[in-house]
Amino acid sequence: MSNEEWQHEQEFIDLLYDRLTELRDLAETAVHTAVQSPEGNHAQMRLERNVLVAEQSGLLAAFNAGENGLCFGRLAFRDGRDHHIGRIGIRRDDPDRTPLVIDWRAEVARPFYLATGHTPMGLRRRRHITTEGRRVTGLHDEIMDLADAVRTGHEGTDGDTVLLAALDAARTGRMHDIVQTIQAEQDAIIRAPHHGVLVVEGGPGTGKTVVALHRAAYLLYAHREQLARRAVLIVGPNPAFLSYIAEVLPSLGETGVLLATPGELFPGVTATGTDTPEAAEVKGRAAMADALAAAVRDRQALPDSVIVIDHEDGELRLDAGMAQEARRRARETRLPHNLARPHFAFRVIDALTGQLVDRIGADPFGGPNFLGPDDIAQLGKAIATSAEVHGAIDELWPELTPEQLVADFLAEPVHLPDADADAIRRVDGEWTPADVPLLDEAAELLGEDSSAARAAAEAERQELIDYAQGVLDLSYGSRTQEFEDRDDEESEVLAAHDLVDAELLADRHEEADHRSAAERAAADRTWAFGHIIVDEAQELSVMMWRLLMRRCPTRSMTLVGDPAQTAEPGGCGSWETILAPYVGDRWEHVRLGVNYRTPTEIMEVAAQVPRSADPSFAPPRSIRSTGVRPWAHRTDDIPRVAAGAVARESHQDGRLAVIAPPAHHEALAAALPDASAGPSPDLTRPVVLLGPRQAKGLEFDSVIVVEPAELGASDLYVALTRATQRLGVIHTGALPVGLETLAATGSPTPSAP
Is 558 annotated among the ligand-binding residues? no
Which amino acid makes up residue 732? T
Q: How many other C-beta atoms lie within 10 A of the C-beta of residue 561?
A: 29
CB 535 within 8 A of CB 237: yes
Q: How many other C-beta atoms lie within 10 A of the C-beta of residue 398?
A: 15
Residues with Cβ within 8 Å of 83's Cβ and at least 6 positions away in sequence, in order, are 74, 75, 77, 99, 101, 102, 108, 109
Q: How many other C-beta atoms lie within 10 A of the C-beta of residue 351?
A: 19
Is 207 annotated among the ligand-binding residues? yes
Residues with Cβ within 8 Å of 354's Cβ and at least 6 positions away in sequence, in order, are none
User: Within 13 Å, how many C-alpha atoms sit on residue 195's CB side?
Assistant: 1
What does residue 139 show for φ and ψ, rounded to 5 degrees?
A: -130, 140
Is 627 annotated among the ligand-binding residues? no
CB 10 within 8 A of CB 135: yes
The rounded distance, in Å, linking the Cα atoms of 392 and 468 is 42
Is 206 annotated among the ligand-binding residues? yes
* Per-residue three-class SS string for 223-257: CHHHHHHHCEEEECCCHHHHHHHCCHHHHCCCCCE
Alpha helices (runs of H) in 37-110, residue ranges in sequence order: 43-65
Q: What angle (nearest 5°) sits at the alpha carbon of residue 388, between those of residues 382 and 389?
A: 60
What does residue 152 show for φ and ψ, rounded to 5 degrees?
A: -105, -15
Give the DSSP letter string of 277-297.
Answer: HHHHHHHTSTHHHHHHHHHHH
Is 205 annotated among the ligand-binding residues? yes
CB 468 within 8 A of CB 505: yes
CB 30 within 8 A of CB 56: yes
Report the b/e string of 135-161 with b at 16+ CB within 10 A.
ebeebbbbbbbeeeeeebebeeeeeee
Is 209 annotated among the ligand-binding residues? yes
Residue among 574, 558, 49, 516 nearest 258 (CA):
516
CB 5 within 8 A of CB 139: yes
The rounded distance, in Å, linking the Cα atoms of 550 and 542 is 13
Q: Which residue pairs from 733-737 have beta carbons closer than 8 angstroms and sit at least 24 positions apart in sequence?
A: 733/709, 734/709, 735/632, 735/708, 735/709, 736/609, 736/708, 736/709, 736/711, 737/609, 737/612
- Which amino acids are annotated as binding site for ATP, given as ranges? 202-209
Please state the residue numbers annotated as binding site: 202-209
